[in-house]
Amino acid sequence: MKVVVKEITLSTQSRFQLIDITSEVESIVENSGVKNGIALVFAPHATAAIIANEHESGLINDIIDKVKEFTEPGSSKWRHNIIDDNAHAHIGSALFGAERVFPVVNGKLIRGTWQNIFLLEMDGPRSRRRVYVVVMGE
Amino acid sequence: MKVVVKEITLSTQSRFQLIDITSEVESIVENSGVKNGIALVFAPHATAAIIANEHESGLINDIIDKVKEFTEPGSSKWRHNIIDDNAHAHIGSALFGAERVFPVVNGKLIRGTWQNIFLLEMDGPRSRRRVYVVVMGE
Amino acid sequence: MKVVVKEITLSTQSRFQLIDITSEVESIVENSGVKNGIALVFAPHATAAIIANEHESGLINDIIDKVKEFTEPGSSKWRHNIIDDNAHAHIGSALFGAERVFPVVNGKLIRGTWQNIFLLEMDGPRSRRRVYVVVMGE
Protein backbone atom coordinates (compact mmCIF):
# COMPACT_ATOMS: atom_id res chain seq x y z
CA MET A 1 0.00 0.00 0.00
CA LYS A 2 1.05 3.55 -0.68
CA VAL A 3 0.07 6.72 1.14
CA VAL A 4 1.18 10.03 -0.37
CA VAL A 5 0.41 13.32 1.40
CA LYS A 6 0.97 16.64 -0.36
CA GLU A 7 0.00 20.20 0.41
CA ILE A 8 -1.21 22.87 -2.02
CA THR A 9 -0.88 26.48 -0.88
CA LEU A 10 -2.69 29.37 -2.49
CA SER A 11 -3.79 32.93 -1.84
CA THR A 12 -7.26 34.37 -2.28
CA GLN A 13 -8.16 37.84 -3.50
CA SER A 14 -11.80 38.38 -2.50
CA ARG A 15 -14.09 37.76 0.43
CA PHE A 16 -15.91 35.11 -1.63
CA GLN A 17 -14.04 33.24 -4.33
CA LEU A 18 -13.88 29.84 -6.01
CA ILE A 19 -10.30 28.82 -6.82
CA ASP A 20 -9.91 25.91 -9.23
CA ILE A 21 -7.33 23.43 -7.94
CA THR A 22 -8.17 20.54 -10.29
CA SER A 23 -4.87 20.44 -12.14
CA GLU A 24 -2.83 20.55 -8.92
CA VAL A 25 -4.85 17.70 -7.43
CA GLU A 26 -4.71 15.61 -10.62
CA SER A 27 -0.98 16.08 -10.86
CA ILE A 28 -0.49 14.92 -7.24
CA VAL A 29 -2.58 11.81 -7.97
CA GLU A 30 -0.71 11.04 -11.19
CA ASN A 31 2.67 11.40 -9.51
CA SER A 32 1.69 9.43 -6.41
CA GLY A 33 2.35 5.97 -7.78
CA VAL A 34 -1.07 4.89 -6.49
CA LYS A 35 -2.94 2.88 -9.11
CA ASN A 36 -6.28 2.24 -7.41
CA GLY A 37 -7.66 3.81 -4.26
CA ILE A 38 -8.93 7.18 -3.11
CA ALA A 39 -7.85 10.82 -2.98
CA LEU A 40 -8.93 13.01 -0.06
CA VAL A 41 -8.90 16.77 -0.74
CA PHE A 42 -9.07 18.56 2.62
CA ALA A 43 -8.89 22.23 3.65
CA PRO A 44 -7.65 22.70 7.26
CA HIS A 45 -9.80 25.80 7.58
CA ALA A 46 -13.06 26.64 9.35
CA THR A 47 -14.08 29.47 6.98
CA ALA A 48 -13.49 27.78 3.61
CA ALA A 49 -14.82 24.62 1.97
CA ILE A 50 -13.93 22.18 -0.80
CA ILE A 51 -16.51 21.57 -3.51
CA ALA A 52 -16.62 19.86 -6.91
CA ASN A 53 -18.52 21.32 -9.86
CA GLU A 54 -18.40 22.93 -13.29
CA HIS A 55 -15.91 25.67 -14.04
CA GLU A 56 -18.28 28.06 -15.81
CA SER A 57 -18.11 31.72 -14.86
CA GLY A 58 -21.87 32.24 -14.59
CA LEU A 59 -22.26 29.17 -12.39
CA ILE A 60 -19.34 30.21 -10.20
CA ASN A 61 -21.17 33.43 -9.41
CA ASP A 62 -24.45 31.56 -8.91
CA ILE A 63 -22.82 29.29 -6.32
CA ILE A 64 -21.31 32.27 -4.50
CA ASP A 65 -24.70 34.03 -4.53
CA LYS A 66 -26.37 30.97 -3.00
CA VAL A 67 -23.67 30.64 -0.34
CA LYS A 68 -24.14 34.31 0.58
CA GLU A 69 -27.91 33.94 0.68
CA PHE A 70 -27.63 30.82 2.87
CA THR A 71 -24.96 32.11 5.26
CA GLU A 72 -26.04 35.79 5.53
CA PRO A 73 -22.70 37.60 5.87
CA GLY A 74 -22.81 40.55 8.25
CA SER A 75 -26.15 39.61 9.75
CA SER A 76 -26.69 41.02 13.20
CA LYS A 77 -28.35 37.77 14.19
CA TRP A 78 -25.01 35.90 14.28
CA ARG A 79 -23.61 35.92 17.81
CA HIS A 80 -20.12 35.03 16.54
CA ASN A 81 -19.94 38.35 14.67
CA ILE A 82 -19.39 40.13 17.99
CA ILE A 83 -16.03 38.31 18.23
CA ASP A 84 -15.07 38.16 14.57
CA ASP A 85 -17.18 39.28 11.62
CA ASN A 86 -17.17 35.92 9.83
CA ALA A 87 -19.91 33.72 11.32
CA HIS A 88 -21.30 33.24 7.81
CA ALA A 89 -18.03 31.64 6.64
CA HIS A 90 -17.92 29.27 9.63
CA ILE A 91 -21.52 28.23 9.01
CA GLY A 92 -20.82 27.56 5.31
CA SER A 93 -17.70 25.55 6.07
CA ALA A 94 -19.39 23.53 8.83
CA LEU A 95 -22.46 22.59 6.84
CA PHE A 96 -21.07 22.14 3.29
CA GLY A 97 -17.84 20.52 4.44
CA ALA A 98 -14.12 21.18 4.19
CA GLU A 99 -13.32 18.04 2.19
CA ARG A 100 -14.26 15.91 -0.79
CA VAL A 101 -13.15 12.35 -1.57
CA PHE A 102 -12.59 10.96 -5.08
CA PRO A 103 -11.86 7.50 -6.49
CA VAL A 104 -8.46 6.83 -8.06
CA VAL A 105 -8.54 4.27 -10.87
CA ASN A 106 -5.63 3.24 -13.09
CA GLY A 107 -3.49 6.02 -11.68
CA LYS A 108 -5.96 8.78 -12.41
CA LEU A 109 -8.41 10.81 -10.34
CA ILE A 110 -12.00 9.92 -11.24
CA ARG A 111 -14.30 12.89 -11.69
CA GLY A 112 -17.18 13.79 -13.97
CA THR A 113 -16.65 15.94 -17.07
CA TRP A 114 -18.11 18.91 -15.21
CA GLN A 115 -16.61 18.17 -11.82
CA ASN A 116 -13.70 20.51 -11.30
CA ILE A 117 -12.34 20.82 -7.77
CA PHE A 118 -12.47 24.18 -6.00
CA LEU A 119 -11.51 25.79 -2.75
CA LEU A 120 -14.52 27.88 -1.74
CA GLU A 121 -13.19 30.96 0.04
CA MET A 122 -15.79 32.63 2.27
CA ASP A 123 -13.60 34.86 4.43
CA GLY A 124 -10.92 36.25 2.12
CA PRO A 125 -8.73 37.72 1.01
CA ARG A 126 -6.15 35.45 2.63
CA SER A 127 -2.46 35.35 1.84
CA ARG A 128 -2.20 31.64 2.60
CA ARG A 129 -4.83 28.96 2.31
CA ARG A 130 -3.76 25.32 2.44
CA VAL A 131 -5.24 22.16 0.95
CA TYR A 132 -4.04 18.67 1.89
CA VAL A 133 -4.26 15.93 -0.69
CA VAL A 134 -3.97 12.37 0.64
CA VAL A 135 -3.69 9.70 -2.05
CA MET A 136 -3.99 6.18 -0.69
CA GLY A 137 -4.24 2.78 -2.32
CA GLU A 138 -2.25 0.11 -4.07
CA MET B 1 -4.46 -4.46 1.50
CA LYS B 2 -7.31 -4.79 -0.96
CA VAL B 3 -8.83 -2.16 -3.22
CA VAL B 4 -11.96 -3.08 -5.15
CA VAL B 5 -13.56 -0.60 -7.56
CA LYS B 6 -16.98 -1.28 -9.04
CA GLU B 7 -19.44 0.79 -10.99
CA ILE B 8 -23.23 0.86 -10.65
CA THR B 9 -25.18 2.21 -13.62
CA LEU B 10 -28.78 3.30 -13.47
CA SER B 11 -31.34 5.42 -15.27
CA THR B 12 -33.58 8.09 -13.79
CA GLN B 13 -37.18 8.86 -14.74
CA SER B 14 -37.88 12.33 -13.31
CA ARG B 15 -36.20 15.71 -12.99
CA PHE B 16 -35.90 15.14 -9.23
CA GLN B 17 -35.67 11.60 -7.89
CA LEU B 18 -34.10 9.59 -5.09
CA ILE B 19 -32.92 6.18 -6.28
CA ASP B 20 -32.09 3.67 -3.53
CA ILE B 21 -28.78 1.92 -4.27
CA THR B 22 -28.25 0.37 -0.81
CA SER B 23 -28.47 -3.26 -1.87
CA GLU B 24 -26.08 -2.77 -4.80
CA VAL B 25 -23.53 -1.03 -2.56
CA GLU B 26 -23.87 -3.64 0.20
CA SER B 27 -23.44 -6.45 -2.25
CA ILE B 28 -20.24 -4.87 -3.65
CA VAL B 29 -18.87 -4.53 -0.11
CA GLU B 30 -19.78 -8.11 0.82
CA ASN B 31 -18.18 -9.52 -2.32
CA SER B 32 -15.04 -7.35 -2.07
CA GLY B 33 -13.10 -9.56 0.30
CA VAL B 34 -12.37 -6.47 2.43
CA LYS B 35 -12.90 -7.21 6.11
CA ASN B 36 -12.24 -3.81 7.71
CA GLY B 37 -11.85 -0.45 6.03
CA ILE B 38 -14.02 2.04 4.18
CA ALA B 39 -16.41 2.23 1.23
CA LEU B 40 -16.54 5.38 -0.89
CA VAL B 41 -19.79 5.88 -2.85
CA PHE B 42 -19.14 8.52 -5.51
CA ALA B 43 -21.23 9.94 -8.38
CA PRO B 44 -19.09 11.37 -11.22
CA HIS B 45 -21.78 13.93 -11.94
CA ALA B 46 -22.16 17.67 -11.32
CA THR B 47 -25.97 17.67 -11.23
CA ALA B 48 -26.60 14.73 -8.89
CA ALA B 49 -25.54 13.93 -5.33
CA ILE B 50 -25.16 10.94 -3.01
CA ILE B 51 -27.01 11.04 0.31
CA ALA B 52 -27.81 8.61 3.11
CA ASN B 53 -31.16 8.56 4.88
CA GLU B 54 -34.43 6.78 5.54
CA HIS B 55 -36.34 5.14 2.73
CA GLU B 56 -39.81 6.40 3.62
CA SER B 57 -41.95 7.76 0.81
CA GLY B 58 -43.11 10.88 2.67
CA LEU B 59 -39.55 11.76 3.68
CA ILE B 60 -38.28 11.17 0.14
CA ASN B 61 -40.70 13.83 -1.08
CA ASP B 62 -39.80 16.13 1.83
CA ILE B 63 -36.10 15.94 0.91
CA ILE B 64 -36.87 16.68 -2.74
CA ASP B 65 -39.06 19.64 -1.71
CA LYS B 66 -36.24 21.07 0.42
CA VAL B 67 -33.70 20.61 -2.37
CA LYS B 68 -36.02 22.44 -4.78
CA GLU B 69 -36.63 25.23 -2.27
CA PHE B 70 -32.89 25.60 -1.65
CA THR B 71 -31.73 25.40 -5.27
CA GLU B 72 -34.61 27.29 -6.97
CA PRO B 73 -34.95 25.46 -10.31
CA GLY B 74 -35.74 27.74 -13.24
CA SER B 75 -34.96 30.93 -11.35
CA SER B 76 -34.07 33.83 -13.59
CA LYS B 77 -31.41 34.87 -11.09
CA TRP B 78 -29.14 31.96 -12.06
CA ARG B 79 -26.64 33.08 -14.69
CA HIS B 80 -25.86 29.48 -15.66
CA ASN B 81 -29.46 29.02 -16.87
CA ILE B 82 -28.64 31.12 -19.95
CA ILE B 83 -26.29 28.28 -21.02
CA ASP B 84 -28.17 25.27 -19.69
CA ASP B 85 -31.34 25.31 -17.61
CA ASN B 86 -29.88 23.37 -14.68
CA ALA B 87 -28.01 25.78 -12.39
CA HIS B 88 -30.11 24.52 -9.48
CA ALA B 89 -28.80 20.97 -9.95
CA HIS B 90 -25.18 22.14 -10.07
CA ILE B 91 -25.67 24.18 -6.90
CA GLY B 92 -27.24 21.22 -5.09
CA SER B 93 -24.47 18.84 -6.15
CA ALA B 94 -21.69 21.30 -5.27
CA LEU B 95 -22.98 22.13 -1.81
CA PHE B 96 -24.45 18.81 -0.64
CA GLY B 97 -21.72 16.68 -2.21
CA ALA B 98 -21.44 13.92 -4.77
CA GLU B 99 -20.07 11.30 -2.37
CA ARG B 100 -20.51 9.64 1.00
CA VAL B 101 -18.02 7.44 2.87
CA PHE B 102 -18.97 4.50 5.14
CA PRO B 103 -17.05 2.23 7.49
CA VAL B 104 -16.63 -1.44 6.59
CA VAL B 105 -16.44 -3.77 9.60
CA ASN B 106 -16.29 -7.57 9.55
CA GLY B 107 -16.98 -7.60 5.82
CA LYS B 108 -20.12 -5.51 6.05
CA LEU B 109 -21.01 -1.89 5.28
CA ILE B 110 -21.79 0.00 8.48
CA ARG B 111 -24.88 2.18 8.32
CA GLY B 112 -27.65 3.16 10.67
CA THR B 113 -31.01 1.38 10.60
CA TRP B 114 -32.49 4.36 8.78
CA GLN B 115 -29.50 5.15 6.58
CA ASN B 116 -30.22 3.88 3.11
CA ILE B 117 -27.96 5.12 0.32
CA PHE B 118 -29.47 7.13 -2.52
CA LEU B 119 -28.46 8.84 -5.72
CA LEU B 120 -30.18 12.23 -5.64
CA GLU B 121 -31.08 13.11 -9.22
CA MET B 122 -31.64 16.84 -9.72
CA ASP B 123 -31.46 17.09 -13.54
CA GLY B 124 -33.22 14.00 -14.88
CA PRO B 125 -34.47 12.05 -16.57
CA ARG B 126 -31.13 10.56 -17.59
CA SER B 127 -30.61 7.31 -19.42
CA ARG B 128 -27.27 6.64 -17.70
CA ARG B 129 -26.10 7.76 -14.29
CA ARG B 130 -23.01 6.14 -12.81
CA VAL B 131 -21.91 5.52 -9.23
CA TYR B 132 -18.41 4.35 -8.32
CA VAL B 133 -17.96 2.24 -5.22
CA VAL B 134 -14.40 1.95 -3.90
CA VAL B 135 -13.95 -0.58 -1.10
CA MET B 136 -10.54 -0.40 0.53
CA GLY B 137 -9.05 -2.06 3.57
CA GLU B 138 -7.58 -5.26 4.86
CA MET C 1 -1.31 -1.34 6.23
CA LYS C 2 -3.28 -0.83 9.40
CA VAL C 3 -7.01 -0.42 9.86
CA VAL C 4 -8.27 0.49 13.32
CA VAL C 5 -12.01 0.81 14.01
CA LYS C 6 -13.25 2.29 17.27
CA GLU C 7 -16.62 3.44 18.49
CA ILE C 8 -17.41 6.49 20.61
CA THR C 9 -20.72 6.45 22.47
CA LEU C 10 -22.35 9.51 23.96
CA SER C 11 -25.67 10.84 25.16
CA THR C 12 -27.36 14.09 24.17
CA GLN C 13 -29.42 16.36 26.39
CA SER C 14 -31.34 18.64 23.99
CA ARG C 15 -33.28 18.42 20.75
CA PHE C 16 -30.48 20.39 19.04
CA GLN C 17 -26.95 20.15 20.37
CA LEU C 18 -23.34 20.21 19.23
CA ILE C 19 -21.17 17.76 21.17
CA ASP C 20 -17.42 18.19 20.82
CA ILE C 21 -15.72 14.85 20.20
CA THR C 22 -12.32 16.19 19.09
CA SER C 23 -10.28 14.80 21.96
CA GLU C 24 -11.84 11.34 21.67
CA VAL C 25 -11.14 11.24 17.91
CA GLU C 26 -7.59 12.54 18.31
CA SER C 27 -6.86 10.01 20.99
CA ILE C 28 -8.09 7.15 18.77
CA VAL C 29 -5.85 8.39 15.93
CA GLU C 30 -2.81 8.76 18.21
CA ASN C 31 -3.27 5.27 19.65
CA SER C 32 -3.97 3.63 16.27
CA GLY C 33 -0.38 3.10 15.23
CA VAL C 34 -1.22 4.63 11.83
CA LYS C 35 1.44 7.13 10.77
CA ASN C 36 0.01 8.45 7.50
CA GLY C 37 -3.44 7.96 6.05
CA ILE C 38 -6.98 9.05 6.79
CA ALA C 39 -9.51 9.08 9.63
CA LEU C 40 -13.22 8.65 8.88
CA VAL C 41 -15.60 9.99 11.54
CA PHE C 42 -19.05 8.52 10.87
CA ALA C 43 -22.38 8.67 12.72
CA PRO C 44 -24.64 5.67 11.95
CA HIS C 45 -27.68 7.86 12.42
CA ALA C 46 -30.21 9.47 10.07
CA THR C 47 -31.12 12.37 12.37
CA ALA C 48 -27.64 13.56 13.38
CA ALA C 49 -24.61 14.76 11.44
CA ILE C 50 -20.86 15.17 11.85
CA ILE C 51 -19.38 18.61 11.28
CA ALA C 52 -16.03 20.34 11.86
CA ASN C 53 -15.77 23.93 13.05
CA GLU C 54 -14.82 26.32 15.82
CA HIS C 55 -15.79 25.60 19.42
CA GLU C 56 -17.07 29.05 20.34
CA SER C 57 -20.35 29.26 22.24
CA GLY C 58 -21.84 32.05 20.12
CA LEU C 59 -21.02 30.24 16.90
CA ILE C 60 -22.41 26.96 18.22
CA ASN C 61 -25.75 28.67 18.71
CA ASP C 62 -25.49 30.36 15.31
CA ILE C 63 -24.97 26.99 13.60
CA ILE C 64 -27.94 25.50 15.45
CA ASP C 65 -30.09 28.51 14.49
CA LYS C 66 -29.17 28.07 10.82
CA VAL C 67 -29.88 24.34 10.93
CA LYS C 68 -33.32 25.05 12.45
CA GLU C 69 -34.04 27.74 9.87
CA PHE C 70 -33.00 25.42 7.04
CA THR C 71 -34.76 22.28 8.25
CA GLU C 72 -37.94 23.84 9.73
CA PRO C 73 -38.68 21.58 12.72
CA GLY C 74 -42.37 20.93 13.27
CA SER C 75 -43.43 22.30 9.91
CA SER C 76 -46.76 20.98 8.72
CA LYS C 77 -45.35 20.80 5.20
CA TRP C 78 -43.17 17.78 6.04
CA ARG C 79 -45.00 14.58 5.15
CA HIS C 80 -42.69 12.49 7.35
CA ASN C 81 -43.96 14.32 10.45
CA ILE C 82 -47.20 12.33 10.21
CA ILE C 83 -45.15 9.21 11.01
CA ASP C 84 -42.53 10.68 13.33
CA ASP C 85 -42.08 14.34 14.22
CA ASN C 86 -38.47 14.57 13.04
CA ALA C 87 -38.44 15.19 9.29
CA HIS C 88 -36.25 18.25 9.90
CA ALA C 89 -33.53 16.10 11.47
CA HIS C 90 -33.58 13.61 8.60
CA ILE C 91 -33.32 16.45 6.07
CA GLY C 92 -30.37 17.99 7.92
CA SER C 93 -28.54 14.68 8.20
CA ALA C 94 -29.16 13.76 4.55
CA LEU C 95 -28.01 17.06 3.10
CA PHE C 96 -25.15 18.05 5.45
CA GLY C 97 -23.82 14.52 5.83
CA ALA C 98 -23.23 12.04 8.63
CA GLU C 99 -19.45 11.85 8.17
CA ARG C 100 -16.26 13.85 7.78
CA VAL C 101 -12.84 12.59 6.65
CA PHE C 102 -9.50 13.96 7.89
CA PRO C 103 -5.87 13.41 6.90
CA VAL C 104 -3.55 11.64 9.33
CA VAL C 105 0.08 12.77 9.11
CA ASN C 106 2.95 11.67 11.35
CA GLY C 107 0.54 9.88 13.67
CA LYS C 108 -1.69 12.89 14.23
CA LEU C 109 -5.09 13.98 12.97
CA ILE C 110 -4.78 17.01 10.68
CA ARG C 111 -7.30 19.76 11.35
CA GLY C 112 -7.29 23.54 11.29
CA THR C 113 -6.84 25.55 14.48
CA TRP C 114 -10.57 26.28 14.49
CA GLN C 115 -11.74 22.89 13.26
CA ASN C 116 -13.08 20.97 16.21
CA ILE C 117 -15.14 17.87 15.47
CA PHE C 118 -18.77 17.73 16.58
CA LEU C 119 -21.73 15.43 16.53
CA LEU C 120 -24.67 17.61 15.48
CA GLU C 121 -27.73 16.29 17.31
CA MET C 122 -31.00 17.32 15.64
CA ASP C 123 -33.45 14.90 17.26
CA GLY C 124 -32.39 14.63 20.88
CA PRO C 125 -32.26 14.02 23.69
CA ARG C 126 -30.92 10.52 23.06
CA SER C 127 -29.43 8.20 25.63
CA ARG C 128 -27.07 6.61 23.13
CA ARG C 129 -25.53 8.11 20.00
CA ARG C 130 -22.64 6.32 18.35
CA VAL C 131 -19.73 7.56 16.25
CA TYR C 132 -17.42 5.21 14.35
CA VAL C 133 -13.83 6.26 13.82
CA VAL C 134 -11.93 4.34 11.13
CA VAL C 135 -8.19 5.10 11.00
CA MET C 136 -6.49 3.62 7.96
CA GLY C 137 -3.02 3.96 6.53
CA GLU C 138 0.55 2.84 6.94
At B132 the pLDDT is: 98
The answer to whether residues C47 and C123 touch, using CB atoms and an 8 Å cutoff, is yes
The answer to whether residues A115 and A20 touch, using CB atoms and an 8 Å cutoff, is no
Q: Do B63 and C3 touch (CB under 8 A)?
A: no
d(CA B96, CA C47): 16
Q: Is the pTM of this model over 0.90?
A: yes
- What mean pLDDT is predicted for residues B34-46? 98
d(CA B133, CA C120): 27
Residues 59-118 of B with CB under 8 A from A: 70-71, 77-80, 82-83, 87, 90-91, 93-99, 101
The answer to whether residues B22 and B129 touch, using CB atoms and an 8 Å cutoff, is no
d(CA B76, CA B81): 7
Q: Which chain B residue's Cα is nearest to C42?
A: B102
At B49 the pLDDT is: 98
**Contact residues, chain A, for B45 at CB < 8 Å:** 112, 114-115
Say what the ipTM of the complex is: 0.98
Helix axes C87-96, C57-71, angle to 10 degrees: 110
Q: How many residues make up chain A in this entry?
A: 138
Q: Which chain C residue's Cα is nearest to B92?
A: C95
**Contact residues, chain B, for A100 at CB < 8 Å:** 97-99
Q: Which of A1, A43, A46 sits opposite C54 (nearest CB)?
A: A46
The answer to whether residues A68 and A75 touch, using CB atoms and an 8 Å cutoff, is no
Give me the average pLDDT of each 10-residue run along chain A (138 residues): 97 98 98 98 98 98 98 98 96 98 98 98 98 98
Mention every residue, 6+ apart, whose C-beta is less than 8 A from residue A27. Answer: none
Give the three-state DSSP class for C24. Answer: helix
Binning chain B into helix, strand and coil, the percentages to the nearest 5 are 30, 35, 35
Give the sign of the dihedral formed by CA C40, CA C44, CA C46, CA C48: negative
Binning chain A into helix, strand and coil, the percentages to the nearest 5 are 30, 35, 35
Give the tens place of pLDDT for each residue, C31-83. Answer: 999 999 999 999 999 999 999 999 999 999 999 999 999 999 999 999 999 99
d(CA C99, CA B110): 12
Beta bridge pairs of residue C105: C108
**Chains meeting B at 3+ CB pairs closer than 8 A?**
A, C
At B101 the pLDDT is: 99
**Contact residues, chain B, for A19 at CB < 8 Å:** none
